[in-house]
Structure 1
Amino acid sequence: MTDLLAAAYPWIKTGHILSFVAWMAGMFYLPRLFVYHAERAEKGTELDRTFQIMERKLLKLIMTPAMISTWIFGGLLISTGVVDWSQGWPWVKAAAVLAMTGMHGWLSKRLKEFAAGTNTRAGRSYRIANEVPTLLLLLIVVAVVVRPF
């Protein structure tokens, strides 16, 4: 099995990177949609319903499958034996990916609040939340590419 994973390594790595890029695109865009939803759409209006459709489709059809495939491809990469867990960088990356997954869950809860008409957060809250994926992305890329730890 290890030989098969080693032979497939470039494809697994490609799948991991593409999945992560798709996930990140959604992680950047969904909080931005929430900003406009909170600031411009009154509950029960056509605009409110339009935002809800956009947000739900982004989360369910793009972000969540991309997150799951990022985890699967990441697990397969780890299974190839290329990660040296005695170094600090994989632990930093793992912690940042767990934090990104937590952020994904937080956004999912906010989507449910908008759907129920119970959102109490202002656009400013979502603007601040929009910075979290950026910081985590920076941490992940530096940890993997520069490996300063």
Structure 2
Amino acid sequence: MLWIKTFHILAMTSWMAGIFYLPRIFVHYVEGREAGQDVARLEIMAGKLYGFMTIMAIFTLGLGTWLWLGYGFSGGWLHAKLTFVLLLIGYHVWCRQYLQKLRAGTLNRSGRYFRLFNELPLLIFIPILIFVVVKPF
């Protein structure tokens, strides 16, 4: 099970890297477009990054399920963690919606909005980390 846990952590780390970086691409896209710059490369980058982070999310969830089946479903901390994991999945889907708007040329939020949007996954990830490490209940 330790190998499964290792690959789960690796996949989760890769997923989180994408979750943290994609909104920064949105910031640069919106601000670059407002400045009249060519932002076509950012659209390509956003699409490829979203594909990568989706694959990593699937690995994370699959390996997490494997761990859950191996160790069992016990403790309130796990229920709480899974609640925040669902929020993270929701954020991932929300990013997809913004990616679709970016591709359609209708991404109309400000760079400031996406800077704030970029902070949400951290607010979701911190409780997950606390629940896994501290297991407060």
TM-score by length of 1: 0.87
Ranges in structure 1 where 5+ consecutive residues have no aligned partner? 1-8
Ranges in structure 2 where 5+ consecutive residues have no aligned partner? none
Q: Could you tell which deviates more after superposition, 75-84 or 109-118?
A: 75-84
Q: Which residue of 1 aligns with 2:29?
A: 37
1:47, CA displacement in angstroms? 2.5
Q: Which structure 2 residues correspond to residues 125-136 of structure 1 after superposition, within 5 A?
A: 125-136=113-124
Task: Tell me how many residue pairs correspond in the alignment.
Answer: 137
Q: Which residue of 2 aligns with 1:51?
A: 42
RMSD in angstroms over aligned alpha carbons? 1.5
User: Could you give the per-residue CA deviations for residues 13-36 of structure 1, whole angstroms, max 9, x where no partner exists?
Assistant: 011100100000000000111111
Q: Which structure 2 residues correspond to residues 54-69 of structure 1 after superposition, within 5 A?
A: 54-60=45-51, 62-69=52-59
User: Could you give the per-residue CA deviations for residues 58-85 of structure 1, whole angstroms, max 9, x where no partner exists?
Assistant: 001x20000000000000001103441x
* Superposition misfits of 4+ residues, deviation over 3 angstroms: none
Q: Is the 8 A contact 1:13 1:73 kept in 2?
A: yes
Q: Is the 8 A contact 1:20 1:66 kept in 2?
A: yes
Residues 136 and 66 of structure 1: is their aligned pair in 2 closer, same or farther, counting only changes over 3 Å?
same
> What percent identity do the matched residue pairs reach?
41
Would you say 1:73 and 2:63 are equivalent positions?
yes
Q: SS where residue 128 of structure 1 aligns?
A: helix
Q: Which structure 2 residues correspond to residues 1-40 of structure 1 after superposition, within 5 A?
A: 9-40=1-32
Tell me which of 97, 104, 112 is aligned to 2:92: 104
Q: Is the 8 A contact 1:42 1:48 kept in 2?
A: no
User: Separation in 1 of the partners of 2:117 and 2:11?
Assistant: 22
